[in-house]
Structure 1
Amino acid sequence: MSYSIEKVKLSEVEQLQNLAIQTFKNTFKDEEQYTDEDFSHYFANAYSVKQLTSELLDEHAFTYFYKEDEEVVGYFKLNINDAQTEKMGDAHLELQRIYFLPHAQGGGRGKHVFEFAIQKAKELNKIKIWLG
């Protein structure tokens, strides 16, 4: 099985939104502290088309699809400088929102994402990576 990591295009924002909502819900659906109202509120803010478009346009944020045999099975986001969710400084790269569809969890995919993040950190002259 072949895999690829491809930067999400603006024209794919709705596909990203659907994947983000589906994978987040799959990840946290069994947690008792989250209600359907909590999910709806979070999705309306964090995963609105407007918010995701803003993130895709941010020159310090990079969102990628993880594909297997051309099928999108996950996504993740890298942030630098002011796009980081916490102020860690200009030497840092944040790895954020690593989510995969249930059938694509495990099997070394996370390792591929980490290797990609390390390579991007080198390209961007970042010497530290942190998980947001």
Structure 2
Amino acid sequence: MFQIRKADIADIPVINKLAWATFPETYKDIISKEQIDYMMDWMYSPENLRKQMEEERHTYYIAYEECEPAGYVSIQPLDKDLFELQKIYVLPYYQKSHLGRQLFEQAVNAIRELHPEPCLMELRVNRNNRALGFYEHMGMRKLREDDFHIGNGFYMNDYIMGLDILPAKD
């Protein structure tokens, strides 16, 4: 069983370490090593993680098996009734242990706590990412496609997926 807790600034090194163990592995057959390196700096450098948490209102949660970090998820409010599931990654060793589902549910429940009214959670997922089936299994639907320029000549070729989040039933 995994324990999930909200991360704070002191957890940036843990998130960074988890990112280096998950992100390159996830994308090694989808995008170039150069783009992976660029995106790791863009999204996971300690400075950028701090900026996400302090200025861009990202909320991170880290999953632990006993004392070992095993994965993480982050959410971000984008608009009045719109949130983005920014990141969700599980160490390869823990994949197939239902931790992805647990982290996904943590994101949904956190959004419900922040915003008790009906809203939409969106997610960007690379069109060639194997996790696409997982998100569909979790109830997300493809809303649209986007080829998003991230700088340095690199693009993210994504589906934007959505999940309607309704208030929790008492």
Please, what TM-score do these two structures have when normalized by structure 1?
0.80
TM-aligned CA deviation for residue 40 of structure 1: 2.1
SS for the counterpart of 1:76 is strand
- C-alpha deviations, 1:36-86, integer Å up to 9, x for none? 3222222222211110011122373201111112210111101113xxxxx
Partner of 2:2: 3
Q: Given the alignment of the two structures, is residue 124 of structure 1 paired with residue 75 of structure 2, yes or no? A: no
Matches of residues 1-132 of structure 1 in structure 2 within 5 Å? 2-31=1-30, 33-34=31-32, 36-58=33-55, 60-81=57-78, 89-125=79-115, 126-127=117-118, 128-132=120-124
Q: Which structure: greater helix fraction?
A: 1
Give me the whole-angstrom Cα distance separating, in 1, the residues matched to 2:54 and 2:114. 18
Please, what TM-score do these two structures have when normalized by structure 2?
0.64
Q: Which structure: greater strand fraction?
A: 2
Contact 1:3 1:70 in 2 (8 A): no
TM-aligned CA deviation for residue 118 of structure 1: 2.3
Gaps of 5+ in 2: 125-170
Gaps of 5+ in 1: 82-88
Superposition RMSD in Å: 1.8
> Aligned residues, how many?
122
Of structures 1 and 2, the one scoring higher in RCO (CA 8 A, sep 6+) is 1
